[in-house]
Chain A
């Protein structure tokens, strides 16, 4: 990379990390919301 390897590879690595974080956070949010609703429905079922 003509002496610029550290700069170039850091940028590409950061890009991969950002994509992974975005995907992970999106999945985590979906799972959390889903689980909260599940718990609420179960609690409602138990009280009825």
Chain B
């Protein structure tokens, strides 16, 4: 097991392995998203209260879930890199940040668009769910800005890892905000006592979208980590030999 982990953390091994793994994430991801989007838009019955506007859930929930999951991946990788000094872990954290920022933006934007017809407003500053999710977007921006401001990669890794770990406290706040405080945002739909509060005709497309988004996120992350590894290892012999032999 340790041998496998040690081998996986080796940049040349990971670089090659990641390239071969990307299609295994893209193909099921596209199939699941195609099914989920079709079933969510055209097959699932409309909600008795929200009408067809509820169909925004099929992109809003997966992107909100990914925004939090990506932050946890980023913080965990940063922590691993900080404690065990694994270079690849820092590369994963650095690669995850821009993807996480995009999905947080998407969750905020789709939530805002959903809010307009349902709540009568695009945004509510006093709402804990909306505000804590916005704080996460700023945490992503802060993480990327900090990395960009420090030229020395090792120093940038350490400083940004501390920021990522401190910011991780925001993730449970986002998740439980609708239970801890009064919020315009609806309560938990999927992860709640007594099971999901949705009919299976609505639930299955949503689960397909969540899984599909996760697969596509995996492909994006692998692609980003490869670029990050290549940049960090640009002065090493294996990169030189790979480029001279015209490998990708």
Contact = CB atoms under 8 A, between A and B. Distances in A.
Interface string A14-46: 110011011101110110011011101100000
Q: Per DSSP, are chain B's interface residues mostly helix, strand or loop, or mixed? A: helix
B102 A22 contact: yes
B110 A11 contact: yes
Contacts of A23: 220, 223
A33 B155 CA distance: 21
Interface in B230-247: 230-231, 234, 239-240, 243-244
A29 B59 contact: no
A29 B226 CA distance: 10
Contacts of A12: 37, 41, 58-59
Contacts of A3: 51-52
Interface in B21-61: 37, 41, 46, 51-53, 55-56, 58-60
Contacts of A36: 234
B220 A26 contact: yes
Contacts of B71: none
B52 A29 contact: no
B55 A14 contact: no
Given A11-B113, A33-B231, A34-B230, 13 more contacts: A3-B51, A4-B53, A4-B55, A7-B53, A7-B113, A8-B55, A11-B114, A14-B109, A15-B59, A15-B110, A18-B105, A23-B220, A30-B230
Interface of A: 1-5, 7-8, 10-12, 14-15, 18-19, 21-23, 25-27, 29-30, 33-34, 36-38, 40-41
A-B residue pairs, 9 tightest by C-beta: A4-B53, A30-B227, A26-B223, A2-B52, A29-B227, A15-B59, A1-B52, A11-B110, A2-B51
Interface of B: 37, 41, 46, 51-53, 55-56, 58-60, 63, 98-99, 102-103, 105-106, 109-110, 113-114, 116-117, 216, 220, 223-224, 226-227, 230-231, 234, 239-240, 243-244, 248
